[in-house]
Structure 1
Amino acid sequence: MKQLPSAALAACLLAASPALAQSPIVDAPAGRLEGSAEGTLRLFKGIPYAQPPVGAKRWQAPTPLPAWQGVRKATSFGPACVQPRPKIAGIYTNPPERMSEDCVTLNIWAPKNAGKLPVFVWIHGGALVSGYSHEGMYDGARMAARGMIVVSINYRLGILGYLAHPGLSAESAEGISGNYGLLDQIAALRWVKDNIGAFGGDATNVTVAGESAGGLSVMYLMASPRARGLFQRAIAQSAYMISAPELKTARNGTPSAEAAGTQAMTALGAADLAGLRAMDAEKLTTDAAAKGYGPWGTVDAKILPRQLVDTWDRGEQAPVPILAGFNSGEIRSLRMLLPPAPAGAAAYEAAIRARYGDLADAFLRLYPANAIGESMLATTRDALYGWTSTRLAIGQTAIGQRGYLYLFDHGYPATDDNGLHAFHASEIPYVFGTAGRTPALWPKVPDTPAERRLSDAMMGYWSSFAKSGTPMAGGQPAWQPYGKDGRYMAFAQAPRPGTKLFPGMFALHEAAVCRRRAGGDQPWNWNTGIASPVLKKTDGCR
């Protein structure tokens, strides 16, 4: 038998083996990658976008990864970033199979033969404490099949992702610390800019999107000068524009980020940074959460120049179109955010009048005392998510960009029978078309034509926004920008346009936050309604 040359032999083997022939290989600036084929799509999993932040690199800004030699397999999802393991099962419980500090990876879904397609970058939620890029609900296959490149990313979480400390600031050439998880997100976007063309993506047509803490991250990215130019559109689902700690100064009723980090070190029993770095990552993360450490972005004058509300007031956020919205039942699955209910209507009204003063009448019209339970759910929903979403739409409109506002108000038997109508994050499987891939205890979405139609419509609006900055869906109503008429789109049983969502809601919460900001000694987050501090009437605030 005549021996074939090695190149010819390899070609014969590829032709004889469908599995080998179907394995896509991409030659990117970062290095060659072998992915997998899934129907008409190519999937690349677990691609590192920075050097592993382990050992001496724990609590350092991400550093670029040198181009690798040879072909790197990208056929398995990378481990989740370290996070506490859940102790109580709930609808959001979906723990990762693997966790590691070596976790700064991303995944790419790309149509075969893609060329200059828009890019959709997804940032997972989880309170900056938990979550991971390859949760089933975030599967990008159906979105990618609509003619996009879909990217999902991991980023450092909890104390590993957001610790600020005087010692860490001293180590930094810029004299700052914290925001490592945010810097990871920026590094991932830079990797996308440099490499996505090799996968058929257009690096000049990138949408950054996220839900809950992912939506908060989108706002951080819009506010950060370091992320400027890395994306051209933004989607913020159930984002919350709460106050953040400042690096060295106690303000808004919150200790400085460095002081909080110093307190965390003491609570964890470490004498110095070397002691913290020597701790097991999972134990460190779990113990820090148990002792009350909360990860937030840090206002450091460089990565985050100022409070988000101030950035938007000054018109300094990224000048990009935005699609933003929230769910009517946000707090039905987040009741831990509610204060204890008062004894009755009289106690409720007295508490509101004592806290809101001349704003109390407006408050009680929106959240009446004769329906305390629903009023408290709506108060916290609006103070966190409704006010934020509306503010985002107004803010982009003010700087000459299009802002699109939505309300997700959809329920189905498993939600409505259990008091979870349109609960927090329930829009996600509709956006991704992943109703069959929700966590085990998630209220199961029925597989009916009506549910599929709603999901198809939302995927259409979201994907067209990512492509062109205008949300459209075939056979569905036109979604108009917020504009001077306060236009929005409601997603109930079907898309339905409207104007002036929850009249009076935004004005009330804007006035409340204005008074807190003026006082300088009160945070603004879920301490609202009967849990609000006393709001003093202030010049310049309505």
Structure 2
Amino acid sequence: MTRSGVFLAVIAFLGLLTTPAAASDRHAPDLVRTDLGPIRGVVTAQFRTFQGIPYAAPPVGELRWRPPQPATPWQEPRDASRPGNVCAQAAQLGQPGSATEDCLYLNVTTPARSGKRLPVMVWIHGGGYSIGSAAAFNPSKLVSIGDVIVVTINYRVGPFGFLALPELTAENPGIQSGNYGLEDQQAALRWVRRNAAAFGGDPGNVTIFGESAGAGSVCLHLASPTAAGLFQRAVGQSFSCAYPTTTKEQAESDGVRYARGLGCQDVACLRAKPVRDLLPSWGNGWPVIGGREFPLQPMEALRQDRFHHVPVLWGNNLDEMRLFVALEFDLLGNPVTPQVYEQVVRSLHGPAADVVLRKYPVTNYPTPSIALATVRTDYGWALSTCEHVRSYSLFSAHPRPVPVYAYQFVDRTAPGLLRLPGFDEGASHGQELNYLWVNYFGTLNPQQETLSQTMVRYWTNFARSGDPNGASLPRWRRYSSPRDVLALDIPPGGIRPLNVAEASNCAFWESLRS
């Protein structure tokens, strides 16, 4: 399947502390005064929730394919009891589509009471830069166990977020087109910096975290000069900063081909098209390297020491690619056969295919589909384990190293996303989400719930101090070698150190590079 099926200021801070517009009404905990105007949310015994807060103007009409613009202020309390619109996207993976471009909203959840400034965690959802929304994620466990504030954000996806064209690039000199979704993420982070104190949060202690394309976004913000000061920690789940994103030349060439397929020779024609015409023909579309916001590939930024030196917590799942093999083959009623397995390995690895087939004989696995998923997971593409190990080393072995805490989620009993009869999803892509977000796609049994609470404490401890360790938690060693990856599992394996490079045959795969 395509990548789109798979699957971002001390003076200002001090000023906001005394600005009436950024103060919360102590006598009305459901009312918060943001810098744009007052909002009224919902208060329960455990939480305060404020949803559908605009952080930028609706990107409609002439604002389609332009950087996010300031939202219009308001005077009367705005209803913040419901999420904002889902950004325009096609229906995929069981998620309904949307035809709404007015979608630049975020949600804030805080503990009901706190007498101190709390860490702020800003979630960037995944979805291959093509689907997803903030409202899908229930942060109540992170907030209640971790005593943190969680912000979930919408950002433009699909063609509205990632279309690159020479004409669009020329509209904003110095800014590369095709990164509107990432620009939205940074606009949301600037909103957080201005307004965190109004919700009881610490604008100087912000963690960005994301999964899949959300983690890819985190990689890019780590390397983005315009993200300086917007966050102090970074968490990435199931994406490798060692994986390159799209070049300007490729993205703009793809954009021209897309426009011509719609019968358009210029941007004016595209801006006149309704949403329903723009979504069906959209294929691949990832962020684009270029311009002052994203001048370098993340790996190159690491090599050149042009990245934000903040603590990093990063990891992947044991069986990442089982989800994608299932989507490409088994879900369509065409499980991988031994012959197809060999064909795919040969197409992926060319002259090295015979060596790979000897290392990963199909007879060693329950099914050919699982064999193919194992090859793709150990050394596939953006989600591969060996690419993750390279990412950890880039951060931790740097001349000016940053603290790195690496994990692998290995609970093969985790609730499956697809639940295909006869297909064991194992610890596949996205399944750790269920352990951080309440009932993301299934309920947990008691052992899984224990693991979930441990993971929540690790993540929120890291957000608080840059170190996930805490009282009564299994020790998580700072990464210095592949032996320092923490396996996240239920008993009997439990939480333990794991040499993922050895388990995934990274030395073997590296030998094929040379």
Distance 2:91 2:57 in 1: 25
Distance 2:359 2:311 in 1: 30
Offset, 1:511: 6.2
Change beyond 3 A, Cα 1:288–1:302: farther
1:263 aligned residue: 257
Look up the equivalent residue of 2:376 and give its one-letter code: T
1:331 aligned residue: 321
Match of 2:339 among 337, 340, 343: 343
* Number of residue pairs the alignment of both structures matches: 464
1:208 aligned residue: 208
Structure possessing the higher radius of gyration over alpha carbons: 1
1:536 aligned residue: none
Look up the equivalent residue of 1:40 and give its one-letter code: Q
Distance 2:108 2:172 in 1: 32
SS in 2 for 1:204: strand
Match of 2:424 among 403, 415, 419: 419
Offset, 1:474: 4.6
2:31 aligned residue: 25
Match of 2:450 among 446, 450, 453: 453
Match of 1:304 among 294, 311, 323: 294
TM-score by length of 2: 0.83
Offset, 1:124: 0.7
1:458 touches 1:473 (CA, 8 Å); kept in 2? no
- Name which of structure 1's ranges 61-70 and 73-82 shifts more when overlaid on structure 2: 61-70
1:321 touches 1:402 (CA, 8 Å); kept in 2? yes
Distance 2:485 2:188 in 1: 32
Offset, 1:307: 2.2
Offset, 1:37: 0.6
Look up the equivalent residue of 1:236 and give its one-letter code: G
Distance 1:478 1:459 in 2: 15
1:367 aligned residue: 360
SS in 2 for 1:197: helix
2:271 aligned residue: 277
Change beyond 3 A, Cα 1:344–1:184: closer
Change beyond 3 A, Cα 1:377–1:302: same
Structure 2: runs of 5+ lacking an equivalent: 1-26, 330-334
Distance 2:68 2:255 in 1: 20
Distance 2:188 2:284 in 1: 24
- Name which of structure 1's ranges 371-380 and 295-304 shifts more when overlaid on structure 2: 371-380
2:83 touches 2:107 (CA, 8 Å); kept in 1? yes
Change beyond 3 A, Cα 1:311–1:387: farther
- Name which of structure 1's ranges 76-85 and 105-114 shifts more when overlaid on structure 2: 105-114
Look up the equivalent residue of 1:208 and give its one-letter code: I
Look up the equivalent residue of 2:178 and give its one-letter code: G
2:118 touches 2:202 (CA, 8 Å); kept in 1? yes
1:322 touches 1:392 (CA, 8 Å); kept in 2? no
Distance 2:105 2:349 in 1: 50
2:13 aligned residue: none
Offset, 1:22: 6.5
Distance 1:478 1:76 in 2: 40
Distance 1:73 1:492 in 2: 41
Look up the equivalent residue of 1:426 and give its one-letter code: Q
Structure 1: runs of 5+ lacking an equivalent: 1-20, 87-91, 250-255, 439-443, 516-541
Distance 2:55 2:341 in 1: 55
1:233 touches 1:322 (CA, 8 Å); kept in 2? yes
Change beyond 3 A, Cα 1:484–1:421: closer
Offset, 1:272: 1.8
Offset, 1:245: 2.4
Identity of aligned residues (%): 33
Look up the equivalent residue of 1:43 and give its one-letter code: T
TM-score by length of 1: 0.79
Offset, 1:314: 2.5
Write the mapping of 1:183-332 to structure 2, written as runs, cut at 5 A: 183-241=183-241, 242-247=243-248, 249=249, 256-285=250-279, 287-289=280-282, 293-332=283-322
2:177 aligned residue: 177
Distance 1:165 1:22 in 2: 48
- Name which of structure 1's ranges 412-421 and 305-314 shifts more when overlaid on structure 2: 412-421
Distance 2:342 2:238 in 1: 32
Offset, 1:374: 3.5
Offset, 1:28: 2.1
Does 2:489 correspond to 1:492?
Answer: yes
SS in 2 for 1:159: helix
2:386 touches 2:501 (CA, 8 Å); kept in 1? no
Change beyond 3 A, Cα 1:478–1:365: farther
Q: RMSD value over aligned CA atoms?
A: 2.7
Offset, 1:269: 1.4
Offset, 1:189: 0.5
Change beyond 3 A, Cα 1:313–1:376: farther
Distance 1:238 1:72 in 2: 37
Change beyond 3 A, Cα 1:52–1:40: same
- List per-residue Cα deviations over 1:143-200 (Å, max 9, x = no partner): 1112100000000001110111111112113263110000000110011011111101
1:487 touches 1:497 (CA, 8 Å); kept in 2? no
Offset, 1:404: 1.2
2:59 aligned residue: 53
Look up the equivalent residue of 2:288 and give its one-letter code: T
2:132 aligned residue: 131
1:159 touches 1:288 (CA, 8 Å); kept in 2? no
1:6 aligned residue: none
Look up the equivalent residue of 1:307 and give its one-letter code: Q
Distance 2:107 2:40 in 1: 12
